Structures are given as structure tokens and as C-alpha cells.
Amino acid sequence: MDCVFCKIIKGEIPSDKVYEDDDFLVIRDINPVAPVHLLVLYKKHVGKIHQLDEEDKKKVSKVFDVIAKVVEKEGILESGYRVVINNGEQAGQEIDHIHFHVIGGRKLGKIA
């Protein structure tokens, strides 16, 4: 499959790994928009939110534990951070593989 994140997850493309467990891999974004810009990748290839099945949804709900761990590790747990899913074309999703941006380390402007 020609998916950049699947290739990263399989180790076929190098990445700066921050955390890994059975269902998630957390890497640093190659083009960070803030001092901390992580991508939490769901390891199974699912393109979009509405394509998650019931088992996926149970697993993906653990993302909050993963985020709590990595923001503590990165030192932004108290200062605050933003979690973003770009889902679909008009939201600017570039890579069709579910991922959560975790952005922090500076004051962020309001987007919603």
C-alpha cells in the first residue's frame, strides 16, 4: 500500500519516534508548526474517522492515554496543547491515514 504512514509504521521510512505501543506510534512531524508537534498514528490503516469500525473505535479511544503520556514526556502537560484531526479534503488532510496532531510549546491562536 502506498501510504507514507504505513511505511513509517513498518519501518520502511525513517521517523523520529517518541512513543510506541500495540496500536499507536507517535512521531515528530517532519514540518513542525510549533516547538512540539507530534503525530499520533493509529497503526492500522484506516483513512478517515467514518471508516473506523467498532473494534477500531475501542482501540482509538485509548489515544487519550497516549496523548497524556507524550505531553508529559514533552513537558507541555501543564502549559497546554492542541489536538487536531484533519479529516477529509476541506479540512486539509494530506495523508489518508488516521492521525492526531499534538501541538504545543508556544501560545497558539484560536482556530475554532
DSSP-derived 3-state class of residue 84:
strand
| Minimum gap (Å) between residue 12 Cβ and ligand AMP | 11
What whole-number distance in Å separates Cα of residue 49 and Cα of residue 74? 27
Beta-strand pair 24-28/81-84: unpaired
Q: Let me know if 97 is a catalytic residue.
A: no
Question: Residue 26: CB partners within 8 Å, gap ≥ 6?
Answer: 17, 18, 19, 20, 38, 39, 40, 41, 66, 70, 102
Residue with cell 517518541: 18
| Minimum gap (Å) between residue 97 Cβ and ligand AMP | 8
Identity of the residue, 4 or 83, whose beta carbon is nearer to ligand AMP in the bound complex:
4
Per rule CB under 6 A, is residue 109 in the interface with ligand AMP? no
Per rule CB under 6 A, is residue 29 in the interface with ligand AMP? yes
Per rule CB under 6 A, is residue 20 in the interface with ligand AMP? no
Per rule CB under 6 A, is residue 92 in the interface with ligand AMP? yes
All 3 cell numbers of residue 28? 515528530
Annotated active-site residue in 37, 97, 99, 101: 99
Per rule CB under 6 A, is residue 100 in the interface with ligand AMP? no
- Residues interacting with ligand AMP, by CB under 6 A? 4, 13, 15, 27, 29-31, 39, 86, 92-95
